[in-house]
Amino acid sequence: MNLYLRYFDREILVNNVDDAIAFLAGIDEIGMNPVLEQDIRDYAASDVFYPKRYKTRPRVYFIIIKTEAATMQDFKEKKAVHGIEPMGKPVPSTLTRLTEEREGWYEGAIDFKRVLQVPGTGKFQYRDTHFVARCKAVSGQDCYNRIVDHLSQRVDSRSQFPSAKGKNFKFQYLGMCK
């Protein structure tokens, strides 16, 4: 396992933690100390593959990334990306799930900003609105499109709908029969 380190425009790809610590010790602003050194050693020895960043001063960090890349060019071209797969199963991306075609019934839930008139004042305001519907569709994206089409005919045109890829739209495939 190699380590990629970056501090502003200074970067290096090393194959052991001692070289990484030597690189960081050569940068005065980082202020290498025994506590930081031990934390870096613990991170390198752990099973964690998420990048780790360390604060050097307010809003200034250096970053360490574990990688399988043998050279800096391989790392830059993302040839050795380590995918995290829980329990051996790859997790499909949101876009893949949305566009996967499975004809049948879907239940879609959308949280959107609905424009409503305030009684008494005549002014308009946005209200967070949760809407759930079951519809026949061929994919998650088709379910989203059908729900948004339905709502846009029934609410103020200034209402704001979230992206299908965001956290404000969820869907579930229910099967072929309702």
121-141 burial, b at 16+ Cβ within 10 Å, e below that, comes to eeeeeeeeeebeeebebebbb
How far is it, in rounded angstroms, from Cα 74 to Cα 4? 11
Q: What are phi and psi of 36, to 5 degrees?
A: -65, -40
12-33 burial, b at 16+ Cβ within 10 Å, e below that, comes to bbbeebeebbebbeeeeebebe
Instruction: List per-residue pLDDT tens for the chain, 178 residues long.
Output: 889 899 998 999 999 999 999 999 999 888 889 999 999 999 999 888 888 988 888 888 999 999 888 888 888 887 665 554 545 556 566 678 888 999 999 999 999 999 999 999 989 999 999 999 999 999 999 999 999 999 999 999 999 999 999 899 999 999 887 5
Pairing mode of beta strands 60-67, 104-117: unpaired
Read off the pTM: 0.51
Largest CA distance in the chain: 70
Q: What's the pLDDT at 88?
A: 52
